[in-house]
Structure formats: C-alpha cells, structure tokens
Amino acid sequence: MKEFFKNIKFVWKYAKSEKRRIIIYFLLSIFGIVSSIIYPFISARIIVNLTSNQINQFIFMGFVIFTAYMFNDTLYYFKSKLYEKIFRQIYINIQTNLGAEILKLSNKTLEENGSGVFIQRLVGDTKRISTIFTDLNRYVDGIISNIGIMVTYFILSKVMFIFILIAFSIRFIIEIFRINVYNKNEKEYRKNNDDLTGFTGEIVRGAEDIKMLNGEASFLEELKRRFESLNNEKYEMENTNLAFLLCRWYWNQISYFLMIVIVGILVKNGSIEIATAVVLFNFGNRYNSLVGYITGFHELVKQFNLSATRIFDIYEDEKYEKESFGNKHLNKINGDFEFKNVTFKYDTNNVLNNLNFKVHANETVAFVGKSGAGKTTIFNLLCKMYDNYEGTITIDEINIKDLDKESIRGNITIVSQNPYIFNMSIKDNLKLVKKDLTDEEMKEACKMACLDDYIESLPNKYDTVLGEGGITLSGGQKQRLAIARAFVQKTEIILFDEATSALDNETQAKIQQAIANLQKDYTILIIAHRLSTIKSADRILVLDNGNIVGEGTHTKLLKTCKLYKELYENEIINIDN
C-alpha cells in the first residue's frame, strides 16, 4: 500500500484544480451510503409487516423505500455528472504533463524505444489513473453499503451470520488469487502491446514506402504474426481467468444450496420465523456484492499501481534518459560558434573524430562530403540533440552545456531533408514556431519559399489541413513549407540540411536566391550534395569519415582538395547524363 499512497500523491497534483468537485462528490456519496445501509432494515420490516397482515405499515414502509430509491437515483445522476467533469480535467492535466515529459526525452532514448511505449502510456495508462478518486469512492461506497447486509444477518440470526462469513471468506480467497494471477499476466501483456502499437504506427507512417517496395505481403505477414502472438497471450490470460471464475461460480451455487439447508433446519427447529427466513433469502447472495466491491478495490489498486508505475518510469527511470540543459540564458546570440576537439559516436564507431572548426557570426558555411561523413551529426550536436560527445561546442564562446534550452533552440532554426509536417492547417504549421504570427508575415514567408502560388490555388488556402506527415504535399512542397517556417522564425543561426534536395531546378534557384537574401544578416550553415548550390558560400568544409579534409571557397577547393573536385566532377557527369 506504500506504493499506492505514493502514486495517489502524484495524481493528486493534477487533481487539485478539481478539489471542490471531489469534495462534493464524496459528500453526495455519504448520503447514498446512509440510505443504502438502512435499506436492508426497511426491507426486513416490510416483509414482516406483510406476513403479519399489517397492511398500513406495509404500505408506509413501501413509500419509505420508494422515497429512498428516488433519492438515490437523483444522487447518482448528479454524481455521474460530477464524475465526468472530474475525470475529464484530471485526464487532460496528466496527459498534458506526460506529453511535456516525453518531449524532454533524449534522442537516444526515443531511438532505442519504439513509439508504442510512449503512445500507450500517454493514452491508455493516463486514462486508467485519472479515474482513481471517483473509482475509490465507488468501491468504498459499495463496501460500506453492503456491510449493512452483514449487520442485518447478525441481528436476525447468529448462525446464518457465521455461515455467510465463511462463505464470504472462501469467495474472497478465490478472487484474490484470480486478481493476482491476472495482473501478473497483464503487466507482460501491456509491454507486448506497446511493441505492437509501435509497429503498426510504423506501417501507417511508412505505407507509401511499403507500397513502392512491393512489400505489403511481408509486412502483413509480420503484422499477422504479432497480432496472433498478442491475441494468443490475451487468450491464455482469459482462459486462466475463466478457470478462476468457474471456481467462483461453483462456490456461489454450493453456498446457496448450503444456505437453503441451514435456513430449513433453523425454521424446522423454531430458531427463526418464516418471515425472518424470507428476509434471509431475500439478501441471500448480497454478500457476493461485498466480496465484489472488496476484491474490486484490490484489483483497482493493482491496476492503478501498474499504470502509475509505467508512467513514473518515464519521469524517473534512468532507462528513459532526459535532455539536460544549463542555466545560462541569452536573449539573443551573435551567431558565432565553434567545435573544439569534438568526437562523437552513435554506437561503437566514431562519426566525428577530434573535429575542430569555427564559424563567425553572419557567415555562410557549407558542409559537403559523402553520405555518412558526419554532416548532419554536426547540426544535431549544435542543436544539442545529443549530449554524449567528447570535446567542447560553444555558441558566442559559451559552452552549450551551460546554456538553457531557449538560448540554443530559440536561436537556431533547422530545415531538414525530410521535414515533418503536422496534421494541421498550413497556418497552424507556421504558427507552431511563432504564436503571434500575422497574416502578412505568413504570406511573406511563403512567398520567399516559393509556396504562395500553390497555397492560393487551394480551396481553403492557408486553412488547408495537410494530413498526417503532410501527406497531401509533394516532397518539394514539404521542403518549401519547412523553409517558410524557417523564414518565419528568422533566428540568428539557420541550418539547411539538404533543404532543396526535393525541389526542381527552377524552384531551387528561387530558394537559393531567398537564402542569399538572408546572407550577411544571419549565420547560415548548409549541407548539400549538389555542390552547384553552395558556390556562393563564404567557406566550404569538406568532411570525410568524420574529419575535415578540405576548407576554402569553391574555387580554392577545386584546386586543393581531391575529394571535393571528385564530388563536383561526378555531379557534372550526372547532370550531363
């Protein structure tokens, strides 16, 4: 229970805004509990009145029961309305906070764990723990209400009370075994379900590539295998659960038969009257409700702890490494940065080897080299997407490990080769980087990115929703929208990672002109395979296997760098062909 109270304390942080409603919910429950406790006594009296031919008393007690039920139904209505409001707000609070926590995870953590791990916890587990206060109330309400039945048995017949206590205990033991076994299996099932969710997400996101590769059959076969494995696991869980339920059902019938025998003996011996026997039969199986509420409470605690632990893992488990930033803050940077003896590896092999270079403010520098040379890694390290490198990276002569997140990412814009476009309107995609974006700024940015003509041709123009991953856009249109986002931000450092790779020559020329218009006012870094696009750069750095093997202008490198000359000549040959 120590873990349970720790988890309750965590959830309460997100329920404080609903404190008033929760108190009202509990007060309404108390009224309901009181009426539920007195109901068995009233029912006993009504049967006695009927069998004793006290019709006036019988009708009066009937009216009392009618009033009690009407009162309970009204309470239930208001409690249900409160429940929905309480649950909805707590659910939103926890989901929002967990979403923020997931966004703090390091790139390494996100790469090593499938998306299903986080999707299931963000959607499923948060929902389970959001109902804890109302569910606790419901079970406590049920337990207290049904205790009234046990008190009734104790008053009417001590023998029947002892029998019910024994029947209750046996049923309780069966249920506890069932719940413990089920929850042990449920923990493993949820883990495997995380993996399946991640895989199905990959299929949806990669559907176009799967079709192009004609790989539908292979992926569907693997999907079927995973579905079968998970469903077989669920099938075995339910079979085990059903075996326990069968034991419970058998015991219910056995205990009911034994109750008939005992009541019969008690009537025959004159220990109880016929009216009392009728009352005992009337509530004969109500002890099962008490068992149900108690074991339900036990199962609630188990499920709650399981879901809460899965969420806490993201907050506290070292396996889910978080990004870390310093405390120094820069409102606006000049744009100087430097790599000093930087070495970096993703797994075991070095991607960058003792790298040294410096970029001055408002300088345009291009990085070229073969695939895997380490160009994109430089961008990722500058944006502090990875922290496990050796050496020092500075911005304005300050170690980026000492800077807070806003000083780094609030002053750097990156346009990647495969930008992610969100399932929002064009306007909302642009407002993600600037909330107070005006229509004039938005249209100017899209005009600079050569996207305005296309947008104006759409029926809903800037309000057009683009679909998941920008599926309604071509590769070139995605890149131009990403470039427009960069133009909206206009940070001091702008990184272009193959940002024009999916554009036709005419559009590429226009984007190059737009980038050229930003030169001298911003620090611009460009990664490009098309060397013809970076001829105007102030400097070009040539990378090979994580090392800088050439540095200078386009003209200089053609004369002094063998690799650069080779890359450039190969490009010309490809264009001619």
469-520 residue pLDDT tens? 777 787 778 888 888 888 888 788 888 887 666 667 777 777 777 777 777 7
Place of tokens 């349970």: 4
Enumerate the H helices of 321-404 as residue ranges.
Answer: 375-382
**Is 135 or 379 the better-scoring residue by pLDDT?**
379
pLDDT at 575 over 60: no
CA atoms within 13 A on the CB side of 22: 20
Of 144-148, 228-232, 242-246, 336-340, minimum mean pLDDT range: 144-148
71-118 residue pLDDT tens? 877 887 888 788 778 888 888 888 888 888 878 877 777 766 766 677
Residues 6+ apart with CB under 8 A from 482: 415, 416, 419, 421, 499
Domain map (residue ranges) of the chain: 2-186+245-316, 326-411+493-505+529-577
The first and second tokens of residue 142, run together, are 């049920």
Distance between CA atoms of 461 and 479, rounded to whole angstroms? 18
Provide mean pLDDT across the span 430-450: 85
- Quick one: what percent of the chain has pLDDT higher than 90? 2
Split at pLDDT 50, 70, 90, the class of 531 is confident
286-307 residue pLDDT tens? 667 777 788 888 778 888 888 8
pLDDT at 576 over 50: no
Phi and psi torsions of 359, nearest 5°: -120, 130
Q: In what order do the strands lie in the sheet with 493-497?
A: 412-415, 493-497, 523-527, 364-369, 539-544, 547-552
pLDDT at 573 over 60: no
Nearest of 557, 568, 489, 562 to residue 533 by alpha carbon? 568
52-76 residue pLDDT tens? 777 888 788 788 878 877 887 788 7
Q: What value does the mean pLDDT of the chain take?
A: 80
Distance between CA atoms of 503 and 478, rounded to whole angstroms? 10
Q: What architecture (CATH level 2) is domain 326-411+493-505+529-577?
A: 3-Layer(aba) Sandwich (3.40)
Same fold, 2-186+245-316 and 326-411+493-505+529-577: no
Split at pLDDT 50, 70, 90, the class of 39 is low
**pLDDT for 392:** 92
pLDDT at 309 over 70: yes
Of 347-356, 378-387, 502-511, minimum mean pLDDT range: 502-511
Amino acid, res. 231: N
pLDDT at 280 over 80: no
236-248 residue pLDDT tens? 888 888 888 898 8
Angle between helices 55-103 and 132-156 (to 10 degrees): 150
387-422 residue pLDDT tens? 888 899 999 889 999 998 888 888 888 887 777 788
Nearest of 329, 343, 468, 323 to residue 393 by alpha carbon? 343
> At 548, which helix (H) or strand (E)?
strand 547-552
What CATH number does the domain located at 2-186+245-316 have? 1.20.1560.10
* Sign of the torsion formed by the C-alpha atoms of 177, 179, 183 and 189: positive
